[in-house]
Amino acid sequence: MPNLERYSRQILFDPIGREGQERLLRSRVVILGMGALGTVAAELCARAGIGSLVLVDRDFVEESNLQRQILFDEQDAAEHWPKAAAAERKLRKINSEIKVKGLVLDANASNIEHLVRNTSLVIDGTDNLETRFLINDACVKLRIPWIYGAAVASEGATLVILPGITPCLRCIFEDLPPVGSAPTCETAGVIGSVVTVVAGLQVAEALKILVGRTNDTNRRFRMFDVWKNSFREVDLSRARQGRGCKACGEGAFEFLQARRLSQTLRLCGRNAVEVLPGRPVQISLAKLEQKLALAGPVQSNPYLVQCRLEGLTLSVFGDGRALVQGTQDPGVAKSLYAKYVGS
């Protein structure tokens, strides 16, 4: 039996109460992305007693993450520990009564439905609109509530998406913006306080849904700037829900069908490119380490092998994915991958 005393102050909050707390303990939430938003949201969810948390992230911890990604420490960065694994380790110490599973992998068209199926709710902790459109496709198709969140510089935004009830993300953003047209945390930076505000609002909305108070959710698109002291909401009650929408209107899940997904992806806040293998693979990291050691200095842990090559840093995961740091050119990244890992 779970120890409800640890949630006593939350149970005293009437909209949750004992029944709501018991519902939280029976809930399963997937958080996609264990960066700034994901780590804050994950800790809040763990402390709130959400019974099962699945944490998904493709990346590893670096020193520049520590300013805003609250679950990580200097040792995680020094050892390049995968974010999902490091987050799982920390959350198990925060709340040993819940189930926490960290998955070191890339959420993509081939696995997203499996990741979110039979889930109570999905929280967006990703850093690009392409992946968010993929989440939207999967959640709309499977009728799973999800909560969008974004933060860059001092600006933040949140949106609750209840498939079949509210407009979906593609009702609002019809397509991807032109490359380079939107600010990123690499070009504009990001302060930790806006991250905390966005993730806090995401989790507040998640709790409403999980305890059965869906009518209390905020159905507006919220945008704010914590530095300029501005806050505004866009009423979506007249939005074109379903009408002309590729996803919830036509059921044309373009991103889910991998028609629009790239094989390389520039990472927000990083001078780096992710390279995805063209087919499912499983790499022997031990053998790869021996191979790369002939070409440059190697560092490894149970999840990845990292090597300095041709002025760039190549980090390869067991599922064949790689991060190439030191470039934003997909061609350069793919060339380095093919040369040292294979095609």
pLDDT tens sequence across 134-177: 999 999 999 999 999 999 999 999 999 999 999 999 999 888 77
| Residue 287 scores a pLDDT above 80 | yes
**CA distance between the termini of the chain:** 51
| Residue 267 scores a pLDDT above 90 | no
Q: Is 245 a catalytic residue?
A: no
| Residue 257 scores a pLDDT above 90 | no
Contact partners, residue 253, CB within 8 Å, separation at least 6:
137, 138, 140, 141, 246, 247
* Same fold yes or no, 4-234 and 264-340: no
pLDDT tens digits along 104-128:
998 988 899 999 999 999 999 998 8
pLDDT tens digits along 25-57:
999 999 999 999 999 999 999 999 999 999 999
Between CA 253 and CA 247 the distance in angstroms is 5
Confidence (pLDDT) at 168: 95
Confidence (pLDDT) at 340: 85
Give the percent of the chain with pLDDT over 90.
Answer: 69
| Residue 343 scores a pLDDT above 60 | no
Task: State the catalytic residue, choosing from 185, 245, 248, 307.
Answer: 185
Confidence (pLDDT) at 17: 98
Confidence (pLDDT) at 237: 76
Confidence (pLDDT) at 244: 78
Confidence (pLDDT) at 143: 97
pLDDT tens digits along 67-76:
999 999 999 9
Confidence (pLDDT) at 236: 86
290 vs 196, more confident? 196
Domain ranges of the chain: 4-234, 264-340
Average pLDDT, the chain: 91
Q: How confident is the model at residue 65 (pLDDT cuts 50, 70, 90)?
A: very high
| Residue 242 scores a pLDDT above 70 | no
Residue 8 CB burial class (10 angstroms; 0-12, 13-18, ≥19) = exposed
Confidence (pLDDT) at 78: 95
Confidence (pLDDT) at 341: 86
Confidence (pLDDT) at 117: 97
Confidence (pLDDT) at 95: 98
Q: How confident is the model at residue 178 (pLDDT cuts 50, 70, 90)?
A: low
Among 263, 261, 166, 255, which Cα is nearest to 218's? 166
This prediction's pTM: 0.85
CB-based contact 15:213 (threshold 8 Å): yes
Strand (E) positions, 73-135? Answer: 99-104, 121-124
pLDDT tens digits along 295-318:
889 999 999 999 999 899 999 998
Identify the DSSP state of 6.
G
Min mean pLDDT across 176-185, 207-216, 232-241, 248-257 is at 176-185
CATH of range 4-234; options 3.30.413.10, 3.40.50.720, 3.40.50.300, 3.90.1720.10: 3.40.50.720
Pairing of strands 264-266, 322-325: unpaired
> Across residues 240-261, what is the average pLDDT?
80
| Residue 262 scores a pLDDT above 60 | no
**Is CATH 3.30.310 what the domain over 264-340 is classified as, yes or no?**
yes
Contact partners, residue 222, CB within 8 Å, separation at least 6:
157, 158, 159, 201, 231, 232, 233
Confidence (pLDDT) at 30: 98
Give the percent of the chain with pLDDT over 70.
Answer: 93
